[in-house]
Structure 1
Amino acid sequence: MNRLVGFVLIAVSVSLAFGCRVPIKHYNTMKCTPVGGNVGTDCPISFNCPSITQHDNSKCYFNGKTYELSEQIPNEQVAPFCSALCYCRSASPFAQFRCTHVDCAEFFQSFDYDNCIRTYKPKSCCSSGKVCGKEKKKLAKCFLDGDEYLAGQKMHPSGNKCLTCICHENFNETNISSDPNCYESVCGFELFYAKQAYKGGAPVYYEDHCCPWEWRMPKDTDKLVKSTQKNEINDPTLQCQYGKLTMNVGDSLMPEVADGFTYKCSCLIPPLMQCVKTKNSKE
């Protein structure tokens, strides 16, 4: 094993030996290209992210595509975020999307949860309808991770927190990967948090959530904790730039406690530092 791969393996920690446990959904969303790979893990050494390193302030970015000013994202692509008519507009410090929020009818209606279920179609925000009473009893059943669902209900496999399935008559949990009613979540932070994502922020992952819906911005009070592993590498592609701090792989920030949560932030897979947010236990 060469020194570079060996160093990154140690820095990311031996806990990754059975697969990459570092959340990288933000890189997947930006359609960044993985660079290299660590022996014995599924983790790349770093990512190449043109939307970050070659960001054009007069353009908008979403799910790997670049949008010109006034260009609109197809509505079906933003429907899962309860949004429509998302178009790129000029803003400071750089262009950002403006969207129309969609208020689903069920947001304003009472619902008989004991007698009815709401039904959904893939990649939707609002329900497509409801089924009640005797008609509900006629619906096909699905079984996933030991739980029972009815046709039209959303299901979330425990083995993949980024996957959503819609129960249907021929559902088979052993064939999820080929089921057209199962789909990977697309994170919407480029629609709503472009300023944070593309201006030096770090994605914050919380518990079993798939996407980082919070971004931590650099603070003057940030304190760098250098990795205890000896680092003789001075390669900018293996560093995270966070505000005024240049972090090597394995470096971290002093943990921050705020509003009952603890934030632990580290440079694990450049170019972005990333954070994990955990709820503090009550003693």
Structure 2
Amino acid sequence: MKTNFILSSMLFLLFLCVVQIIAKCPDDCKQSNFLYESFQCKPNCIDTDDCPISYDCSSINQHDDMCFFNGNNFKIGESASNSLTWENCMGCSCSENRNNKTNFICYYADCARPFQIDEGCVYKYILGQCCVQGVLCPPFNKCLLEGEIFQEENGKFYHPKDNCTKCACERGESTEGVIKCEKQYCKDLLFHQEDIRRMCAPFYNHVLYDCCPSQWICPENKIIFDEPVESHEDITCLFGDKTLKKKQKFYIDHEMGKIVCECKLPPFATCSLLETN
């Protein structure tokens, strides 16, 4: 009877741990997770008060004979609707390259413009649409956002405090325009699918790691690994077939300069240029 009680208690504690790990994560985390959100990876949290400790991106490699984007799998030859791509600017189809790996082949929208517009007028661009949507003529509206004034004729712009969000000052009922904003997402799965599936590492041009990487660093250069950092967390990143412990770093001599990568938020390592004094 005592043995059964102990076993039941252990199972209950294990259940609590599992419930904690899959708890809902807060939305105000300081560590950027924009890339993982774009990939539609599932966050792993300890409890509802903590930010994700890692992400589950296994769905990306679930079908290696198909392409993956926006939470959907596409067969070879199947096209992803341009409504899935940012501002309807691209059409993409799943293809197989000469390495027998699946990836997307994309083409940009061929936007036609009015041949001639009146002096003082400008082409009209609407948030969420790639091509010209008409012509705007004076008087132009003005919008106020985060203490800054934006003109309607300037078209789309990045949010002054969130460069992952694009906004536009659109025409309102008076001279005061209406601000509309949309969160962007990373298109890396359209252009770097093979590298992502190989567990290459995203490279960011700055150390804030917000928004999307500028390219992906793969384990083909000369790499120097730091010794693993002592940690009680059983959380790791992958860089190619190399397993990294949380906070473990490695360094790469690249044509851009010295690159430092770190296991910050698994499963991918995160890279940027090494800052020098």
CA distance 1:221–1:81, change in 2 (3 Å):
farther
1:164 is aligned with what amino acid?
K
Greater relative contact order, per chain length (Cα 8 Å cut-off, separation 6+): 1
> Secondary structure of 2:83's match?
helix
Shift in Å, 1:90: 2.8
CA distance 1:184–1:24, change in 2 (3 Å):
same
**Residue equivalent to 2:7:** none
2:96 is aligned with what amino acid?
S
CA distance 1:82–1:268, change in 2 (3 Å):
same
What are the Cα deviations for residues 123-156 of structure 1, in whole angstroms up to 9, with x where unaligned? 233333444xxx33x1211122343222262132
Task: From 63, 67, 70, give the equivalent of 1:56.
Answer: 63
> Secondary structure of 1:76's match?
helix
Shift in Å, 1:40: 6.8
Distance across 2 between alignment mates of 1:279 and 1:141:
40
Structure 1 unaligned spans of 5+: 1-18
**Residue equivalent to 1:139:** 140
Q: Matched residues, percent identical? A: 25
For 1:10-49, what aligned pairs fall within 5 Å after superposition? 20-37=29-46, 43-49=51-57
- Does residue 1:239 correspond to 2:236, yes or no? yes
**Residue equivalent to 1:77:** 84
1:254 is aligned with what amino acid?
Y
For 1:238-257, what aligned pairs fall within 5 Å after superposition? 238-254=235-251, 256=253
What are the Cα deviations for residues 161-217 of structure 1, in whole angstroms up to 9, with x where unaligned? 21111212459xxxx9xx7x3111021111111111111211112237621230010
**Residue equivalent to 1:185:** 184
2:269 is aligned with what amino acid?
M
Distance across 2 between alignment mates of 1:140 and 1:183:
20
1:141 is aligned with what amino acid?
K
What are the Cα deviations for residues 227-250 of structure 1, in whole angstroms up to 9, with x where unaligned? 55x3244x3xx1112124211001
What are the Cα deviations for residues 91-138 of structure 1, in whole angstroms up to 9, with x where unaligned? 3342211222334457xx9999x955443112233333444xxx33x1
Task: From 122, 128, 132, give the equivalent of 2:127.
Answer: 122
Shift in Å, 1:61: 0.8
> Secondary structure of 2:268's match?
coil
Name the TM-score, length of structure 2 as normaliser. 0.73
Task: From 100, 108, 127, give the equivalent of 1:101.
Answer: 108
More strand by share: 2
1:26 is aligned with what amino acid?
L
What are the Cα deviations for residues 247-275 of structure 1, in whole angstroms up to 9, with x where unaligned? 1001011364633x543210011111111
Shift in Å, 1:224: 1.2
Q: Which has the larger radius of gyration?
A: 2
Distance across 1 between alignment mates of 2:46 and 2:129:
35
Distance across 1 between alignment mates of 2:227 and 2:101:
33
> Secondary structure of 1:161's match?
strand
**Residue equivalent to 1:16:** none
Name the TM-score, length of structure 1 as normaliser. 0.72
Distance across 2 between alignment mates of 1:130 and 1:93:
47
Shift in Å, 1:38: 7.6
Q: Tell me, yes or no, if the aligned pair for 1:25 and 1:211 is still in contact at 8 Å.
A: yes
Shift in Å, 1:219: 3.0
**Residue equivalent to 2:270:** 274
CA distance 1:220–1:163, change in 2 (3 Å):
closer
Equivalent residue pairs, number: 242
> Secondary structure of 1:156's match?
strand
Structure 2 unaligned spans of 5+: 1-27
1:225 is aligned with what amino acid?
D
